[in-house]
Structure 1
Amino acid sequence: MNSEKTFKPSSGFGMLLIAFIVLGIGIAGIAMFKNPLFGLCFILFLFSLPGFFVIQPNQSRVLVFFGDYRGTVKKNGFYWVNPFYSKRKVSLRAHNFDSERVKVNDKLGNPILISVILVWQVEETYKAAFEVNDYSHFVRVQSDAAVRKLAGSFAYDDFEDETEITLRSGMEEVNHDLEKELAERLAIAGIKVIEARIGYLAYAEEIASAMLQRQQATAIVAARYKIVEGAVGMVESALEELNKKDIVHLDEEKKAAMVSNLMVVLCSDKSASPVVNTGTLNH
């Protein structure tokens, strides 16, 4: 199986000097000797020009000689190679890709909108140049396929079992699975996944309102449960303090009435209105 190999080209500055010397010989020969054979020097000069190229930092050139892969130049600088070599540019810089929001069904069948943010770079130039037709387009297509598969593997949210990993609550685990899935898919193109995470996540418009009401109802029930739990503790503490300090003696019926009144006050949505009792405890 073919893989990336390093190619060491000639220095461009030395070959440029030789090219200008050849050009000078041709000009001087024609001017002094009027010999048309010196015109070959012009042809050699023009022939050498396509062989010059510059490698910028974090760039590379994949060199091919009539269909034969000769190697990759990664070191930045000014170089010269055989003019018959085709030189394909492959960037080694990190790329940031923010996918479009796609509508898919989650594990429970609910339609959701989801997108992915991917940071990637080419690691194997041979695979990027020859194993796929267009590695940038390959990244976009495979990212879309990976995010669709991910959405179908998890529920957006789980209102009944809080221990199950969901897209909303288990971001760390979900992003790890997404990164692993993308790394496997993009390995064929010699691409390294630096980071992958969910960029946008929401219910689709047709069910967003209903799901919002469900979330609000769940939150209200949870809040009420905490309020009642706290109120029971406060009532219990109040009864213990009354008995301990012997402030008032209450029978079971009076305790039940007191507990009922305190629970109403503590659990009510509105502030209690104070009532002054000028009679006895029985009125």
Structure 2
Amino acid sequence: MDSEKTINPPSGFAAFALLLVVLAVAAVCLFIGEEPVGAILGVLGFIFILPGLVIVNPNESKVLTLFGKYVGTVKKDGFFWVNPFTVKRKVSLRAFNLNGQQLKVNDSIGNPIEIAAVIVWQIKDTASAVFAVENYIQYVNIQSEAAVRHLANSFPYDNLEDETATITLRGGAEQVSLLLEKELNERLDRAGIEVLEARISHLAYAPEIAHSMLQVQQASAIIAARRLIVEGAVGMVEMALNKLSEKNIVELDEERKAAMVSNLLVVLCGDRSVNPVVNTGTLYH
């Protein structure tokens, strides 16, 4: 199949003016009694001039074929005259938005998820779009769905179950979008279509596991918070012991240090306020 060939046909205003002249001459011939000449001129005008007039709107094109052979594509907007026997097919060059439906698929570790994408695309090669595929809009819809499914199967939803994952669907939005855009461009290049942008518009666990995975996420968040609290508490206890030792405020043996560390950790790591007990005796009573 030929690749796109852009052509610039002659202006349609000159052809339209010629049509008016031919029709005027035909009318004069009919008026003075030269019916055959007038009729022939009128028929020639309507057969060879009028059908060749085409209007191309901004961001549109006309794909021309003559007796089954691709002639070229008119991309420049305006009023033109082309071969009247050509078949003219309008192809929009505007950007299209595809709001994909929600798909239920499994991620790379087998969890059922719901995913959808928004894709912005436009035609860059009108000849390929018209002749390489049966219906380029349907082709975009089907290939986009296949690309989104393949993307979902390639990465985990998050790294709760796969901590070695460097890219996740939830955490690596930018990288995932770039990978989706790249795959779509490879799939749609055959149809002369360029993907301008591709973004995940919906991402969630499937309803049957959503509650369980929410509990897992909450548990993970609690563990992470506790880990941070413990690390901070240990640092504060270490600082307190060092300060007491440097200032010679009190000398503590190992047993009392252990008791103090235990008390401080309980105070700092507890999720409830504590009620201190004041010891009015010695350290050992």
Distance 2:278 2:45 in 1: 110
Give secondary structure in 2 for the equivalent of 1:63: strand
**1:218 partnered with 2:226:** no
Identity %: 56
The amino acid across from 1:126 in the alignment is A
The number of equivalent residue pairs is 283
The CA deviation at 1:182 is: 0.7
The CA deviation at 1:217 is: 0.4
Give secondary structure in 1 for the equivalent of 2:177: helix
Aligned to 2:14: 14
Aligned to 1:138: 139
After superposing the two structures, state which structure 1 stretch, 219-228 or 170-179, moved more: 170-179
Aligned to 2:93: 92
The CA deviation at 1:34 is: 5.8
Distance 1:274 1:25 in 2: 114
Distance 1:231 1:19 in 2: 93
Matches within 5 A, 1:174-185: 174-185=176-187
Q: Please, which of 169, 185, 193 is the counterpart of residue 167 of structure 1?
A: 169
The CA deviation at 1:18 is: 0.4
Residues 156 and 165 in structure 2, CA contact (< 8 A), matched pair in contact too: no
Distance 2:50 2:282 in 1: 112
* TM-score between the two structures when normalised by the length of structure 1: 0.95
The amino acid across from 1:27 in the alignment is A
The amino acid across from 2:58 in the alignment is P
The amino acid across from 1:255 in the alignment is K
Aligned to 2:81: 80
The CA deviation at 1:170 is: 2.0
Where do 5+ consecutive residues of structure 2 fail to align?
A: none
The amino acid across from 2:124 in the alignment is E
The CA deviation at 1:172 is: 2.6
Distance 1:76 1:34 in 2: 40
Where do 5+ consecutive residues of structure 1 fail to align?
A: none
Distance 2:273 2:21 in 1: 98
Give secondary structure in 1 for the equivalent of 2:159: coil
After superposing the two structures, state which structure 1 stretch, 78-87 or 224-233, moved more: 78-87
After superposing on structure 2, the runs of 4+ consecutive aligned residues of structure 1 that deviate more than 4 Å are none
Distance 2:165 2:239 in 1: 33
The CA deviation at 1:149 is: 0.7
Distance 1:205 1:141 in 2: 25
Aligned to 2:263: 261
